[in-house]
Structure 1
Amino acid sequence: MIRTTGLTKRYGSVRAVDGIDLDVRAGDIYGFVGANGSGKTTTVRMLLGLVLATSGEMQVLGEEMPRRRTNVLPRVGALIENPAAYPNVSGRRNLTLLDAAGPGGSRRTRRTRVDEALEQVGLAGVGRRPVKQYSLGMRQRLGLAAALMRTPELLILDEPTNGLDPQGILEIRELLLGLHARGTTVFLSSHLLAEVEQLCDRVGVLDRGRLVLQDQLSAMQQPTGRVLVRTPDPADAVALLSGVDGATVLKREDQQLVVEHPDPAQLNRLLVEGGVRVGELSPQRMSLEQSVLAATGESADRVPSRTAVTA
């Protein structure tokens, strides 16, 4: 769906994007993550032909970009940063004008497609209201509606939940999962690691213009070598494990223990045979945030996420 080789964008002596090799496959929900200013939006603009690359090659939907953009763009839905709109006309009218201006939209189905897009993003009740009366979150929804107007094969989204409240974020997440289930490939650029972790199956990490990590999300969530234990007998568990070689209780919080032990099955047996009731026992895994911080090194403090370690 998206493939780049050595994609580079320089502004004078500054390399905003530095030789990245993206590999987004059909059927992916691909999370493109990095701190603000890492080059995500510049990359998205190059993919859509809005900014010319300094060097490198890229293909979108199997076509060379930007040379074949007239073939590609009608099959792509896109939302980049803060979506533009005519403030003095309604959201419905904005979508109508946008569809009429673009290639490939059928006039006969335009009204239906506008209605469906507004319904999908939760704006059906305010579609006739002037956009100047919309909140930031409503404008973001309108931009997403524009991206969905022609049932795209590929969605390229840059911070699509910007300005949305938690309920709005949940609704957009469910919408994207539904579109993906119907065959749409999603490329999601975001700095919200918690949201990417819940939505995406593959992730690329951009740091100061360089792609420092690209893999399946599951591969990034490797076991840490520690075990999470939930028990109604935490004090008994701590006392029992204090006399066991190779077992160290690293943290106790209410009824949850974090235990360093090489074999979760053996640990479970030790606890049960020692009379400790075990409600849950599972290997602790790295969060996406931990993987990103490990990959970005010195710039780790620039990643604004507070995703907790989860089992």
Structure 2
Amino acid sequence: MIRTTGLTKSYGSVRAVDGVDLDVRAGDIYGFVGANGSGKTTTVRMLLGLVLATSGQIQVLGEEMPRRRRSVLPRVGALIENPAAYPNLSGRRNLTLLDAAGPGGSRRTRKTRVGEALEQVGLAGVGRRPVKQYSLGMRQRLGLAAALMRTPELLILDEPTNGLDPQGILEIRELLLGLHSQGTTVFLSSHLLAEVEQLCDRVGVLDRGRLVLQDQLSSMQRSTGRVSVRTADPAHAVSVLSGVDGATVLERVGQQIVVEHQDPAELNRLLVEGGVRVSELSEQRMSLEQSVLAVTGASSDRVDAPGALRDSATRTEVTA
């Protein structure tokens, strides 16, 4: 769906994007993450032909960009930075004019498509209100509605939840998941790692203009080799494990112990056979934030990922 080779953009002596090789496949929900100023928006604008690359190649939907933009762009929905709109016109009128100005939109179905797009993003009740009365979050929803007008094969979104409250973020997440289930490929640029972690299946990490990591999210959330065990008798659990090869108790806090062990199921078996009543066992995994910081540098404070510091865990309730 999107493939770039050596994509580079320079502004004088500043290289904003440096040799990026993107690989976004059909059916992906691809998270394009990085700190503010890392080059994400510049990359997205090059994908859409809004900014010309200094060097490198771009293919979108199997066609060369920007040379084939007239055939590509009608099949792509996009929301880039702050969506533009005529403030004195209603949201509905803005969408109508936008559809009329672009290629491929049927006049006969325009009214229906505008109404459906407003309904999808939760603006049906305010579609006739002037945009100048919209909040930032409502303007963001209107921009997303514009991206959805023609049932795109590919959605390219730059910070689509900007300005939304938690309920709005949840609604947009559910909307994108619904569109994906219907066959739409989603390319989502964001600096909010917690959102990407809940939504995306593949991730690319941009740092100072370079793509430093590109992989399945599940591969990034690899096991740490540590297992958290909760039991009413932690002292007995420590005693049972003291003579087991490959099992090292790293920490004990209250009724919870952390054990270094590569096989959670085997660890549970050893504890149960030793007479330990295990109430909960969790395999600790790397969070997306930890994986990102591992390749961009833990000293960087430019990545905003509220609530993402904790290890993610696959929890299994067990009975001794």
| Change beyond 3 A, Cα 1:241–1:216 | same
Give the TM-score taking structure 1 as reference length. Answer: 0.95
* Residue 62, structure 1, aligned to residue 47, structure 2: no
Partner in structure 1 of residue 279 of structure 2: 279
CA drift at 1:181: 0.5
Partner in structure 2 of residue 49 of structure 1: 49
CA drift at 1:212: 0.4
Partner in structure 2 of residue 78 of structure 1: 78
| Change beyond 3 A, Cα 1:113–1:253 | farther
Q: Which amino acid letter does the alignment assign opposite residue 237 of structure 1? A: A
Among all aligned residue pairs of Structure 1 and Structure 2, give the percentage whose two residues are the same amino acid: 88
CA drift at 1:220: 1.0
Partner in structure 2 of residue 178 of structure 1: 178
Partner in structure 1 of residue 104 of structure 2: 104
Separation (CA, whole Å) in 1 of partners of 2:92 and 2:75: 21
Partner in structure 2 of residue 196 of structure 1: 196
CA drift at 1:280: 2.9
Partner in structure 2 of residue 291 of structure 1: 291
CA drift at 1:254: 5.5
Q: Deviations over 1:180-238 (max 9, x none)?
A: 00000000000111111111111100000000001111111111111122334445434
Partner in structure 1 of residue 135 of structure 2: 135
CA drift at 1:176: 0.4
Gaps of 5+ in 1: none
Give the TM-score taking structure 2 as reference length. Answer: 0.92
Q: How does 1:17-32 map to 2 (within 5 A)?
A: 17-32=17-32
Partner in structure 2 of residue 11 of structure 1: 11
Q: Deviations over 1:42-99 (max 9, x none)?
A: 0000000000000000000011000110000000000011111111111111111111
Q: Which amino acid letter does the alignment assign opposite residue 283 of structure 1? A: E
Separation (CA, whole Å) in 2 of partners of 1:27 and 1:255: 44
Contact 1:207–1:299 (CA under 8 A) maintained in structure 2: no
CA drift at 1:258: 2.4
Partner in structure 2 of residue 120 of structure 1: 120
CA drift at 1:263: 3.3
SS at match of 1:302: coil
Separation (CA, whole Å) in 2 of partners of 1:249 and 1:96: 64
Q: Which amino acid letter does the alignment assign opposite residue 149 of structure 1? A: M
Aligned residue-pair number: 311
Contact 1:39–1:206 (CA under 8 A) maintained in structure 2: yes
Q: Deviations over 1:28-55 (max 9, x none)?
A: 1000000110000000000000000000
